[in-house]
């Protein structure tokens, strides 16, 4: 029988790429709890997380917008948008990167909710082909293993968010991630980065995690703003690509592309263990079977 963490359901041995930024090279399980969960519990402080958010909000800004928000159109980024606008009263510029695989109904819904929340919204269209060509021509990479297809879009989203920050003279970015950004030396919701040629450091915050939003709270928020699941794939609530690459990804890597991320969300407190287990069963039986 496979050894699984009793807290986050991660499996012994395999290190999912979603946590490769941490110091860990492999998952070890001691007394039923994995090394990532042990580190999370040791390094987590609610007070520190609160201070992090306060620090993010207190930074002086000169542009029209307080923050740029990466709006995929899915449930997590809309939760972040609601929190930024309604809970924190920030002046937000939301943007969606249209990679060609985000259905029109997702874009329509995004426009409608942004209008309702009185949030300015822009769309950046850029075909994924250019990124893919660049990737395939780069000798340092290999398509055969650890090919995280979503990273191609992440790179474009990151580049475009920096462009918007420059244009609007802001340096703060909000994402809809329900999990920590880093786990050591302390658990943090924030990433700092100084883009080449930009006068100052940019600060990105995983807002739902910074506010410790749970799955249940998210459901209430989505109901409030009228967000409906566009039902385009089992895992993604905005993009068709995960559905298209799922089978091949498992074949090449031996695990599901969501493996590790769900566990990270459980570890971060978004899902209870029971909810996580239910989600895992509902979506696929492949997670642990390969």
Near Zn ion by CB under 5 A, which window of 9-17, 80-88, 93-101, 145-153? 9-17
Write down the least CB distance from residue 266 to Zn ion, Å.
8
The nearest distance, CB 133 to Zn ion, in angstroms, is 39
Q: Decide whether 212 or 273 has the Cβ nearer to Zn ion.
A: 273
Cα–Cα distance, 101 to 88 (Å, whole number): 32
What residues between 189 and 248 interact with Zn ion by CB under 5 A? none
Number of helices (H), then strands (E), belonging to the chain: the values are: 11, 8
Give the nearest distance from C-beta 31 to Zn ion in angstroms.
11
Only one of the segments 10-18, 94-102, 155-163, 181-189 lies at the binding site for Zn ion (rule: CB under 5 A); that segment is: 10-18
> 33 vs 286, which CB is nearer to Zn ion?
33
Classify residue 19 as exposed, middle or buried by CB count within 10 Å of its CB (0-12, 13-18, 19+). buried
Q: Which is nearer to Zn ion, 34 or 102 (CB)?
A: 34
Least distance to Zn ion, CB of residue 277, Å: 13
Q: Which of 170, 171, 190 is nearest to 180 (CA)?
A: 190
CB 59 within 8 A of CB 33: no
- Measured from the CB of residue 180, what is the shortest distance to Zn ion in angstroms? 13
User: In the complex with Zn ion, which residue's Cβ is closer, 14 or 124?
Assistant: 14
Shortest Å, Cβ 275 to Zn ion: 15
Site for Zn ion in 34-73 (CB under 5 A): 34, 37
5 binds Zn ion (CB under 5 A): yes
Q: Does 262 bind Zn ion (CB under 5 A)?
A: no
* Residue span binding Zn ion (CB under 5 A) among the ranges 33-41, 73-81, 241-249, 268-276: 33-41
Nearer to Zn ion, 74 or 276 (CB): 276
The residue assigned the tokens 């385009």 is 232
Distance, CA of 70 to CA of 269 (rounded, Å): 22
DSSP result, 133-149: HHHHH-TT--SSSS--T
CA distance 288 to 290: 6
Nearest residue (CB) to Zn ion, 5 versus 94: 5
Q: Indicate whether 29 belongs to the interface with Zn ion (CB under 5 A).
A: no
Please, what sign has the CA dihedral across residues 50, 48, 66, 209? negative
Instruction: Count Cα atoms within 13 angstroms, Cβ side, for 130.
Output: 8
The answer to whether 109 and 228 have CB atoms below 8 angstroms apart is yes
Q: Which is nearer to Zn ion, 34 or 93 (CB)?
A: 34
Please state the closest distance from residue 267 (CB atom) to Zn ion, in A: 6
CA distance 55 to 74: 27
Tokens of 196: 């080449």
């Amino acid at each position: 029988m496979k050894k699984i963490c009793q807290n986050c359901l991660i499996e012994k041995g395999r290190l999912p790429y979603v946590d490769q930024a941490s110091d860990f090279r492999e998952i070890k399980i001691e007394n039923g709890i994995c090394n990532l969960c042990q580190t999370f519990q040791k390094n987590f402080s609610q007070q520190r997380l609160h201070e992090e958010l306060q620090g993010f909000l207190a930074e002086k800004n000169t542009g029209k917008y307080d923050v740029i928000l990466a709006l995929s159109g899915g449930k997590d980024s809309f939760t972040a948008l609601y929190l930024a606008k309604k809970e924190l009263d920030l002046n937000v510029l939301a943007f969606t990167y249209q990679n060609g695989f985000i259905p029109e109904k997702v874009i329509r819904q995004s426009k409608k909710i942004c209008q309702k929340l009185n949030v300015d919204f822009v769309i950046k269209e850029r075909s994924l082909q250019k990124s893919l060509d660049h990737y395939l021509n780069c000798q340092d990479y290999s398509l055969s293993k650890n090919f995280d297809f979503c990273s191609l879009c992440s790179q474009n989203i990151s580049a475009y968010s920096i462009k918007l920050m420059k244009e609007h003279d802001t340096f703060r970015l909000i994402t809809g991630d329900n999990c920590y950004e880093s786990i050591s030396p302390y658990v943090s919701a924030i990433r700092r980065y100084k883009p080449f040629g930009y006068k100052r450091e940019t600060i990105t915050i995983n807002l739902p995690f910074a506010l410790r939003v749970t799955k249940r709270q998210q459901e209430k928020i989505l109901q409030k703003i009228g967000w409906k699941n566009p039902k385009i794939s089992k895992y993604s609530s905005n993009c068709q690509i995960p559905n298209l690459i799922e089978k091949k990804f498992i074949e090449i890597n031996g695990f599901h592309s969501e493996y590790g991320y769900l566990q990270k969300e459980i570890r971060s407190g978004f899902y209870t263990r029971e909810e996580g287990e239910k989600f895992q069963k509902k979506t696929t039986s492949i997670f642990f079977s390969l």
